[in-house]
Chains A and B, each alone.
Chain A
Amino acid sequence: MRAPRGSGTATGGAPLPLLVPALIGLAFLVLPLVALLLRAPWSSMPGLLTGTEVWQALRLSLICATAATVVSMVIGVPLAWLLARVEFPGRGLVRALVTLPLVLPPVVGGVALLMALGRNGVVGQWLDSWFGITLPFTTTGVIIAEAFVAMPFLVISVEGTLRAADPRYEEAATTLGASRFTAFRRVTLPLIAPGIAAGAVLAWARALGEFGATITFAGNFPGRTQTMPLAVYLALQNDPEAAIALSLVLLAVSIAVLAGLRDRWMTAS
């Protein structure tokens, strides 16, 4: 579905004060990518990418980013609904707290997760002594770290969509006898689906590139917690060419997935 024709998409006559910074902005974002492609060690690429660790890391990255997105959706959408639809004291503060992981340096986020959910953490010590569950150094730990960092993107996106959506549809449904939950499930959810999709894509992309919180909370072990960004970082220590090759694989895969999703879900929004 394309945007309706009309004033919004009129071509020709883009005013220079907008066009020039727009093109600078585009160049600013694309140039590092182009540089990466130009300097990529194309001839030695096949040799650099044949190791099993590469594909192991890529597979783990995709699985964990997807799982983190699912976790974010399951608990993030209700949280967004709460923030947008329910009046309660301190709502502004809660909203600020939700966005905290956005400003927290991810490494600090990782340390905070260790202090909360680590073997010796505030909650983690009980998980360990009651259920024998320890999260650091596990794949579950990777998913938790990624969800922690990525969920705010989804919550903000969904909350914005909810605020823009007309609450009268929900009200009409409840007037007609639906419970508030049914109204949410049958009316609100379909209404905000594009917003959820957009938020999920953002969260997925953020989770895929996550480094700091992951390596701090989950450590780095090939096949278990070593995702692509970790593999790239470590390769950078003594083999920059391998690091560039790995980054390109991650880029190619994420662009393919994002382009595919965009065509499917996001054109409506």
Chain B
Amino acid sequence: MTRTTRRYGRILQVTGAGVAALLALSACSSSGPDSGGESAASARAGVSGTVNVFAAASLTESFTELGRQFEKEHPGTEVVFNFGGSDSLAAGITSGAPADVFASASPRTMKTVTDAGAAEGTPVTFVRNGLEIATLPGNPDRIASLKDLTGDGLKVVLCDRTVPCGAAAEKALTAAGLELTPVSYEEDVKSALNKVVLKEADAAVVYRTDVRAAGDKVEGVEFPEAAEAVNDYPITLLKDAPNAGAGKAFIELVRSAEGRKALTGAGFTAP
């Protein structure tokens, strides 16, 4: 009884009473009784067991590749990814989800984790991501700059301000002194991109990595104001990591030359 009380007390303390009800849900979905005894034993034995990595959705392609590599280098390990919006991942971690590593798409979301005392050590920036304009294949509307997006009759989608890509796009537009009315503020970067992939919109402001991942379904256009809205991606080991040893090893791989190669191949830039 006292144990559960203490646990809930901690959750409440960490997340604030107002959101605990909502967060309990995400904690449930991601927790699952990870065999604590086993991973503690394996941490002593070196790198083995399951590594739980919570990572921003934009890292899906590159981290999945690195995960496979990690499993090959460390036989007996399994990397389990939870890709999602950085905000909801951070919320899951602060409410007690058993994760080893957190890689976020913005310092702001990482800050909610460090503020809650859930990070082990100081997070480090491991890559940067920048904005690009995604246009239809062949760029039929001849979009060459951010200003071209404000043209009449062009259907442009942006991310909503509440999600990182929307905040970044707003920063770039402000830096350019432009006023842009999109047809839609999308709920995340992938759905913004998909509107162009499905040819429903003529252009979207998304991350360079998303343009890269979409292959020839969209065409990327770089613009100078993107420099005003570069996103840093911090990564950290978590304090309550069930498998800290393997978590640390995964972070090392991400920050190694090999990891850098996989990430820059996906369109990220080195910090």
Task: Give residues in A with beta carbon < 8 Å to B.
Answer: 35-36, 38-39, 41, 111, 114-115, 118-120, 136-137, 215-216, 218-222, 225-226, 230, 233-241, 243-244
Beyond A36-B21, A236-B22, A244-B22, is A119–B199 a contact (Cβ under 8 Å)?
Answer: yes
Residue pair B198, A118 in contact (C-beta under 8 Å): yes
Contact with A along B157-181 (1 / 0, CB 8 A): 1001011000000000000000000
- Residue B78 at the A interface, CB < 8 A? no
Total A-B pairs, Cβ < 8 A: 78
- Residue B155 at the A interface, CB < 8 A? yes
- Residue B19 at the A interface, CB < 8 A? yes
Give the interface SS of chain A, mostly helix, strand, loop or mixed.
helix
**Residues in B neighbouring A38, C-beta threshold 8 A:** 21
**Residues in B neighbouring A234, C-beta threshold 8 A:** 160, 162-163, 185, 187
**Residues in A neighbouring B132, C-beta threshold 8 A:** none
> Which among B21, B87, B186 is the interface contact of A35 at CB below 8 angstroms?
B21
Residue pair A39, B191 in contact (C-beta under 8 Å): no
Inter-chain CA distance A234–B187, complex, in Å, is 7
Residue pair B198, A221 in contact (C-beta under 8 Å): no
Residue pair B184, A39 in contact (C-beta under 8 Å): no
Residue pair B186, A120 in contact (C-beta under 8 Å): no
**Residues in B neighbouring A226, C-beta threshold 8 A:** 185
Chain B residue at minimum C-beta to C-beta distance from A35 = B21
* Interface range for B: 20 to 34
Inter-chain CA distance A219–B204, complex, in Å, is 13
Find the residue from A225, A230, A236, A239 having the highest chain B CB count within 10 A: A236
- Residue B144 at the A interface, CB < 8 A? no
Separation in Å of the B140 CB from the closest CB of chain A?
A: 13
> Which among A114, A120, A219, A236 is the interface contact of B184 at CB below 8 angstroms?
A219
Give the interface SS of chain B, mostly helix, strand, loop or mixed.
mixed
Beyond A39-B21, A235-B162, A240-B18, is A219–B198 a contact (Cβ under 8 Å)?
Answer: no
**Residues in B neighbouring A39, C-beta threshold 8 A:** 17-21
Task: Give residues in B with beta carbon < 8 Å to A.
Answer: 17-22, 85, 87-88, 91, 155, 157, 160, 162-163, 182-187, 191, 195, 198-201
Residue pair B163, A118 in contact (C-beta under 8 Å): no
A39-B17, A120-B200, A137-B200 are known contacts; what are 12 more A-B pairs with Cβ within 8 Å?
A118-B199, A136-B183, A215-B187, A219-B157, A220-B185, A222-B185, A234-B185, A237-B87, A237-B88, A238-B162, A240-B18, A244-B22
**Residues in A neighbouring B21, C-beta threshold 8 A:** 35-36, 38-39
Separation in Å of the B202 CB from the closest CB of chain A?
A: 10
Separation in Å of the B2 CB from the closest CB of chain A?
A: 23
Find the residue from B88, B91, B185 having the highest chain A CB count within 10 A: B185
Residue pair B162, A120 in contact (C-beta under 8 Å): no
Separation in Å of the B238 CB from the closest CB of chain A?
A: 21
Separation in Å of the A27 CB from the closest CB of chain B?
A: 16
Inter-chain CA distance A216–B187, complex, in Å, is 9
Chain A residue at minimum C-beta to C-beta distance from B183 = A137
**Residues in A neighbouring B19, C-beta threshold 8 A:** 39, 240-241
Residue pair A220, B187 in contact (C-beta under 8 Å): yes
Residue pair B184, A221 in contact (C-beta under 8 Å): yes
Residue pair A219, B186 in contact (C-beta under 8 Å): yes
Beyond A114-B200, A236-B22, A237-B87, is A216–B191 a contact (Cβ under 8 Å)?
Answer: yes
**Residues in B neighbouring A225, C-beta threshold 8 A:** 184
Beyond A39-B17, A234-B160, is A137–B187 a contact (Cβ under 8 Å)?
Answer: no
Separation in Å of the B196 CB from the closest CB of chain A?
A: 11
Inter-chain CA distance A237–B90, complex, in Å, is 11
Residue pair B162, A237 in contact (C-beta under 8 Å): yes
Residue pair A237, B182 in contact (C-beta under 8 Å): no
Chain B residue at minimum C-beta to C-beta distance from A137 = B183
Residue pair B17, A115 in contact (C-beta under 8 Å): no
